[in-house]
Amino acid sequence: MRKIEWTLEKLNDGFNKFKAEYGRYPTSHEIDNYPHLPSARQIQRRFEGGLPALRKQLKLDGPEDFTKGEYSSERARMVGKRAHALEKTIYDFLVKRFGLPFVHREYFFVDDRRTRTDFFIYCKNGNFSIDVFYPKDKKNFAGCLNSKINTYSQRTMLEFPVIFLMMNDNISKEEIQSILEHKKKKLNKQQQVMSFAELQEFCKHKTPLAKAG
């Protein structure tokens, strides 16, 4: 395959294609997953000053550096607010179903403060863990899933089933299935992707250790 020479013209075309599709220019993470642009790391190596300098050189509107200032603060605030609301919804459901003592939030598989999952549930017919995520779109879903497969590759994290709980209802079950079928990096037999509705159905077949509530 011929290596692409990323000229300023090609880069400008790529940025503008992204804007035409999404109504704004991409962040560094989105650049990595966009087929009409090189990786953010390639841009960092090619241009002194990296992405901020390139955005300035191409005269792209919006913030030159998406990791700083008002954009970053507002994005962090909104992501944090949404994550807290989603986590509470899931936690309340799990506690109601399995009982407070048997639902562990931010569970550490080993004592290294990194090998963790969002929820670990103890029940009679098989404990399981849940990792919650909210991808922005299909491309982001695929990238997030690759990262999670890598994260949950240790034997200690695969002793029990792992549910990757995808909370964006705008991504359909058919789209998820298509992505899973065409992925090079497949899910481990202990891993599966679920929506919140599918998790609720899954939990109907799990027996609490004690009466929940």
> pLDDT of the chain along its 213 residues, tens only?
456 778 888 898 988 888 887 777 887 767 877 778 888 778 887 877 788 888 888 888 765 445 554 444 444 454 456 677 888 999 999 999 999 999 999 888 877 656 788 999 999 999 999 999 888 888 888 888 888 888 888 888 889 999 999 999 999 999 999 999 988 889 999 999 999 999 999 999 999 997 644
The secondary structure of 131-150 as a DSSP string is EEE--SSHHHHHHHHHHHHH
Domain co-membership, 44 together with 117:
no
Examine the fold and report which residue of 67, 89, 112 is the final residue of a domain before the chain moves on: 67
Half-sphere exposure of 206 (CA within 13 A, CB side): 23
Q: Is 40 left (phi over 0), alpha (psi -120 to 50) or beta?
A: alpha
- Are the C-beta atoms of 187 and 142 separated by less than 8 Å? no
Within-domain flag for 2: no
Domain count along the chain: 2
Domain co-membership, 55 together with 124:
no
Domain co-membership, 59 together with 122:
no
Distances (CA, A) of 194 to 100, 102, 120, 163: 23, 21, 16, 7
Looking at residue 9, its amino acid is E
Model pLDDT, residue 191:
95
Domain co-membership, 86 together with 151:
yes
Within-domain flag for 106: yes
- 45: enclosing H helix or E strand: helix 40-46
Model pLDDT, residue 129:
95
pTM for this prediction:
0.63
Cα angle value 157/158/160 (rounded, 5°): 100
Domain co-membership, 194 together with 173:
yes
The domain in which residue 42 lies consists of 8-67
Model pLDDT, residue 74:
44
Q: What whole-number distance in Å separates Cα of residue 26 and Cα of residue 29? A: 8
Domain co-membership, 151 together with 188:
yes
Query: Exposure string (b/e) for 18-49, b if CB count within 10 Å is 16 or more?
Result: beeeeeebbbbebbbbbeebbebeebeeebee
Model pLDDT, residue 204:
95
Domain co-membership, 56 together with 101:
no
Examine the fold and report which residue of 67, 92, 115 is the final residue of a domain before the chain moves on: 67
Domain co-membership, 134 together with 180:
yes
Using CA atoms of 145, 151, 153, 157 in order, give the dihedral in degrees to the nearest 10: -110
Domain co-membership, 103 together with 195:
yes
Within-domain flag for 211: no
Tokens of 107: 């569970």
Domain co-membership, 62 together with 147:
no
Domain co-membership, 148 together with 179:
yes
Q: Report the CATH number at residue 166.
A: 3.40.1350
Model pLDDT, residue 177:
93
Examine the fold and report which residue of 67, 92, 113 is the final residue of a domain before the chain moves on: 67
Domain co-membership, 96 together with 174:
yes
